[in-house]
Chain A
Amino acid sequence: MLKLTQNLGQQGLMAVARLGRRFMFLLSTLAGCAGLIRRFHLLIKQLYSVGVLTLVIIVVAGLFVGMVLGLQGYNTLVDFGAEESLGVVVALTLVRELGPVVTALLFAGRAGSALTAEIGLMKATEQLSGLEMMAVDPFRFIFAPRLMAGFIAVPILAAIFNAVGVFGGYLVGVEWVGVDAGSFWSQMQAGVDLQEDILNGVIKSIVFGFIVTWIALFEGYDAVPTSEGVGRATTRTVVQASLAVLGVDFLLTALMFG
């Protein structure tokens, strides 16, 4: 019994310490972002590398999700004779929810895990210590450009996901099952609100991009510097980032549309 409480207390302390390290890490990285103006090329390089990693996945997933939405939406709407509204249903589902959330989940699985592995290996091969020894701050040189790149890339990727998804819905809804193209587009135009829907969706994906990249970078930074430790950190990134995205999505949805 004593042992149990002791264990529990120890676990609790460790969790608090970890949370503290997480926030210290974030503060140092944000402080490092100030120097990014002078090192703009680092940001470009990171944007390119996360973009390339994730773009194909995003396009393919967006197309399929849009097509499924088109089919399921049509099957439901046609029972009420409301299949003309298919466009607005597909667009709203994508812009409000699936676009930001699925993009963030895919980003966590592809780019997030890659970031953790990259940073963890840098730690294991002493590149981070090496930078410090050369009087170069790793927070400025390594972490800040990556955090900023995730922050910028995810909203753009989500926008691409939405666009491709709407196209997928159009393919199935209009080209295949035969909803009228005019009403598909005009209903969509009338039903989607710039601020209420699009802006909120963009805010969501900015928040998700930030959270996923933060978790990915921290897990790499905090990894036990062995091949086993880096492997475990990579798994933790995907699990934690995915859960964080879904949890925060509920909070944001409740705030925005509740």
Chain B
Amino acid sequence: MPSSSSSRDALVDIANLHFARGSRRIFSGVDITIQRGKITAIMGPSGTGKTTLLKLIAAQLYPDQGSIHLDGQDVHRLTRSALYTLRKRVGMLFQSGALLTDLNVFDNVAFPLREHTQLPETLIRHLVLIRLHAVGLRGARDLMPSELSGGMARRVALARALIMDPMMIMYDEPFAGQDPISMGVLADLIKTVNDALGLTSIVVSHDVAETLSIADYVYVLSDGVVIEQGTPDQMKASESPWVQQFIHAQANGPVPFHYPAPEYMADLMQAG
């Protein structure tokens, strides 16, 4: 449990978060602390609300109860312009990359600079090429998003997220649907970028091995609450059957393989 002294190093402080979509409860009392300079992983099966959590942190959604402080500010009490100022310092990588389809790679990465600054084109070119080089795609600057593979699109999105020199980056399922090689590339990139630039990273994922390999601290979400937290080593050693099932990818355990159904034999016999 984060003590009050350590929460002063916290960049994000989520307290007693409640959120529902219609009648479906997604969070019922979640407490999460994201330490500055660290990579914090938030794990859980699909549909637990990991993406929703990131949108709550970015104040694209509003909680029913509880609060989220980002860099000392309650994000849900900010005025629109204060919120936009804060968002310029937070990068987010969406699952799909979310690149603008009618701009090429270079213009996508340059987009935030052109929107928010009056920098001369020569300087913009410099800044963009530095970021593209960092993600290994300097040569792909003229490609359109439709010509990129999924892994490349995410790397371009990372370059774009870095362009405004953010203090924090949130990654939504950076490994989902990737081949093992690009998974490794992305994991290395997330780690390198975080450490070299002194960022804070939140990685939301259900890919256990990759995530545990780069995370400093892990939260596991299920059914709207944090069911386990700790360092990756503590996670692997966890006694909780749920965590065991999740980490070792077992079909049977507290999370059932079968969708609720009538008794098997009875169901078969009924057909006649």
Instruction: Identify 9 residue pairs between A and B in the complex whose beta-carbon atoms are under 8 Å apart, listed by A's number.
Output: A122-B101, A126-B95, A127-B99, A127-B101, A130-B94, A131-B100, A133-B87, A135-B112, A135-B116
Q: Which of B83-132 contact A (CB under 8 A)?
A: 84-85, 87-88, 90-92, 94-101, 111-112, 115-116
Q: Which residues of B contact A135 (CB under 8 A)?
A: 84-85, 87-88, 112, 115-116
Q: Which residues of B contact A235 (CB under 8 A)?
A: none
A126 to B97, CA, bound (A): 8
| Pick from B92, B100, B115, B116: contact of A127, CB under 8 Å | B100
Footprint of B on A, CB under 8 Å? 121-122, 125-127, 129-136
Sample of 13 further A-B pairs with CB below 8 A, known A125-B97, A131-B100, A134-B115? A121-B101, A125-B96, A127-B100, A130-B99, A130-B100, A132-B58, A133-B58, A133-B91, A134-B111, A134-B112, A134-B160, A135-B88, A135-B115
A249 to B96, CA, bound (A): 43
Q: Which residues of A contact B92 (CB under 8 A)?
A: 130, 133
Interchain CB contact under 8 A, A129 and B85: no
Q: Nearest CB to that of A122 among chain B residues?
A: B101
Interchain CB contact under 8 A, B85 and A126: no
Interchain CB contact under 8 A, A125 and B116: no
A122, A125, A133: which has the most chain B beta carbons within 10 Å? A133
Report A235 CB to chain B, min CB distance, Å. Answer: 22
B240 within 8 A of A: no
Task: Indicate whether A126 sits within 8 Å of B98 (C-beta atoms), given known contacts A132-B60, A135-B116, A136-B115.
Answer: yes
Footprint of A on B, CB under 8 Å? 55, 58, 60, 84-85, 87-88, 90-92, 94-101, 111-112, 115-116, 160, 164
Give the A-B contact count at a CB cut-off of 8 A: 51
Report A159 CB to chain B, min CB distance, Å. Answer: 29
Report B42 CB to chain A, min CB distance, Å. Answer: 17
Report B24 CB to chain A, min CB distance, Å. Answer: 16
Q: Which residues of A contact B60 (CB under 8 A)?
A: 129, 132-133
A130 to B94, CA, bound (A): 7
A121, A122, A136: which has the most chain B beta carbons within 10 Å? A136
Report A244 CB to chain B, min CB distance, Å. Answer: 28
Interchain CB contact under 8 A, B98 and A127: yes
A135 to B81, CA, bound (A): 9
A134 to B112, CA, bound (A): 7
Task: Indicate whether A134 sits within 8 Å of B87 (C-beta atoms), given known contacts A126-B94, A126-B96, A129-B94.
Answer: yes
Q: Which residues of B contact A136 (CB under 8 A)?
A: 111-112, 115
Q: Which residues of A contact B58 (CB under 8 A)?
A: 132-133
Q: Nearest CB to that of B95 among chain A residues?
A: A126
| Those 8 A-B pairs whose CB atoms lie nearest each other, nearest first | A130-B98, A135-B84, A126-B94, A126-B98, A135-B87, A133-B92, A135-B88, A125-B96
Q: Which residues of B contact A129 (CB under 8 A)?
A: 55, 60, 94, 98
Report A32 CB to chain B, min CB distance, Å. Answer: 13
Report B99 CB to chain A, min CB distance, Å. Answer: 8
Q: Which residues of A contact B100 (CB under 8 A)?
A: 127, 130-131
Report B50 CB to chain A, min CB distance, Å. Answer: 14
Q: Nearest CB to that of B92 among chain A residues?
A: A133
Q: Which residues of B contact A122 (CB under 8 A)?
A: 101
Q: Which residues of A contact B99 (CB under 8 A)?
A: 127, 130
Report A17 CB to chain B, min CB distance, Å. Answer: 12
Report B186 CB to chain A, min CB distance, Å. Answer: 17
A132 to B84, CA, bound (A): 8
Report B59 CB to chain A, min CB distance, Å. Answer: 9
Report A256 CB to chain B, min CB distance, Å. Answer: 40
Report B212 CB to chain A, min CB distance, Å. Answer: 26
Q: Nearest CB to that of A141 among chain B residues?
A: B115
A73 to B250, CA, bound (A): 78
Interchain CB contact under 8 A, A125 and B88: no
A121 to B111, CA, bound (A): 20
A129 to B97, CA, bound (A): 11
A119 to B164, CA, bound (A): 26
A135 to B82, CA, bound (A): 10
Q: Which residues of A contact B115 (CB under 8 A)?
A: 134-136
Q: Nearest CB to that of B172 among chain A residues?
A: A126
A125, A134, A136: which has the most chain B beta carbons within 10 Å? A134
A147 to B203, CA, bound (A): 37
Q: Nearest CB to that of A49 among chain B residues?
A: B102
Q: Which residues of B contact A132 (CB under 8 A)?
A: 58, 60, 87
A228 to B35, CA, bound (A): 41
Task: Indicate whether A125 sits within 8 Å of B85 (C-beta atoms), given known contacts A134-B111, A135-B116.
Answer: no
A131 to B108, CA, bound (A): 11
